[in-house]
Structure 1
Amino acid sequence: MQTIRRARREDADNIAALVTQAYTPYIARIGRQPAPMLEDYRQVVNDTDTFVLTDGAEIAGVLVMSREDMELLLVNVAVLPRFKGRGIGKRLMALCEQHALDLGCEAIRLYTHELMVENIGIYHKLGYRETHRATENGFARVFMRKALVAR
């Protein structure tokens, strides 16, 4: 049975392992570990709105968000590779949007590496629009935004 819940501090090691598995395929493409692999997930769980999707006792997906004024920053969404194609990413993205609306946010912002082209395509399909590109901390990033309409 799959459930979504707020991450707890004791989930940090499992979240870090999930992120490592999810992002390892991109290392060869971008020439270094992607930024999410460099995070301290104990600190992330403390400082952000982090949710996990569990499948039984296993964490299969993670969603990390942070409110910035009237917008929500989608910091990270990741799914264990063996769970891909089961709609987990879509469920986590829907949660992100609902969370933003619940907080009264006007938009969701995110960024991804410019070489993670499949992710850019997914975000476009979900209604995100590219706002600009820039290099930050040595990463060539694509910045995107989705305006929200209160329901």
Structure 2
Amino acid sequence: MTDERHEPVIRRATAADVPAVKAVTDAAYHHYIARIGVVPAPMEADHAANVAAGRVHVTGEPDVVGLVVVEARDDHLFLDSIAVHPEAHGRGLGRRLLAFVDEHARALGLPEVRLYTNALMWENQELYPRYGYEVVERRTDGPYDRVHYRKRLAPGAV
């Protein structure tokens, strides 16, 4: 839910959201298949297991239009996937979801967020540095050529 005065509500996904999580993820990542030559990993994720484990947070009312999949690790929050349905682009949802990830990491007492993106997803390589992420390394994981990022969080800052 959003209005002129409020940011979109982001909530933990429930089992009822699993079909929407899959649909939004597929819609957001499908166009990369031809470019990278394989199905992007988020499209092959076990969405039901991620939701059941509390890793998925969604936005959009009544229909889910954006989501993040995160996993708390010992020393960081891993941002496994971020997806905004193409029909919802331009509303600031991606920016809000990235801010939520920072807030969530801080709430868990974690000092940084880490993520990776496919090296051929050049849009992401332009985007993440604008939000404070720095490249840590580039490496191949199976069929994926990935650029790894991290964002160190200042305590209490948003």
Shorter-normalised TM-score: what interval? Answer: over 0.9
User: Which of 13, 36, 46 is the aligned partner of 2:42?
Assistant: 36
* Structure 1 residue 66, shift from structure 2 partner: 0.3
Provide the rounded CA distance (Å) in 1 between the counterparts of 2:14 and 2:58: 9
Cα distance, 1:121–1:48 mapped onto 2, change above 3 Å: farther
CA contact 1:61–1:78 (8 Å) conserved in 2: yes
* Contact 2:38 2:143 (C-alpha < 8 Å) held by counterparts: no
Trace 1:86-125 onto structure 2 (pairs within 5 A). Answer: 86-125=91-130
Matched, 1:22 2:28: yes
Distance apart, 1:130 and its partner CA: 0.4
TM-score of the superposed pair, with normalisation by structure 2: 0.92
The DSSP-based 3-state class of the residue aligned with 1:58 is coil
Select 1:137's aligned residue among 126, 142, 145: 142
**Following the alignment from structure 1 to structure 2, what is the Cα–Cα distance between the partners of residues 44 and 61?**
15
1:138, distance to aligned residue in structure 2 (A): 1.3
Q: What is the number of equivalent residue pairs in this alignment?
A: 150
User: Partners in 2 of 1:125 and 1:138 — Cα distance?
Assistant: 27
User: Shift in Å at residue 10 of structure 1?
Assistant: 1.5
CA distance in 2, matches of 1:140, 1:64: 20
Alignment match of 2:15 (pick from 3, 9, 15):
9
Q: Give the RMSD, CA atoms, in angstroms.
A: 1.0
**Comparing 99-108 and 3-12, the one that deviates more:** 3-12
Q: Distance in 1 between matches of 2:31 and 2:40?
A: 10
User: In the alignment, which residue of structure 2 is the partner of 1:75?
Assistant: 80
Please report how far the alpha carbon of residue 44 of structure 1 lies from its aligned counterpart in structure 2 after TM superposition: 1.1
Calculate the TM-score normalised by the size of structure 1.
0.96
**Counterpart-to-counterpart distance in 2, 1:12 and 1:137:** 27
Which consecutive aligned stretches of 4+ in structure 1 deviate over 6 angstroms post-superposition? none
* Contact 1:70–1:104 under 8 Å retained in 2: no
Structure 2 spans left out of the alignment, 5+ residues: 3-8
Mapped partners of 2:69, 2:100: distance in 1: 11
Structure 2 distance, partners of 1:73, 1:99, is 11
* Contact 1:109–1:145 (8 Å) recurs in 2: yes
Q: Which residue of 2 aligns with 1:47?
A: 53
Q: Distance in 1 between matches of 2:140 and 2:18?
A: 28
SS at match of 1:100: helix
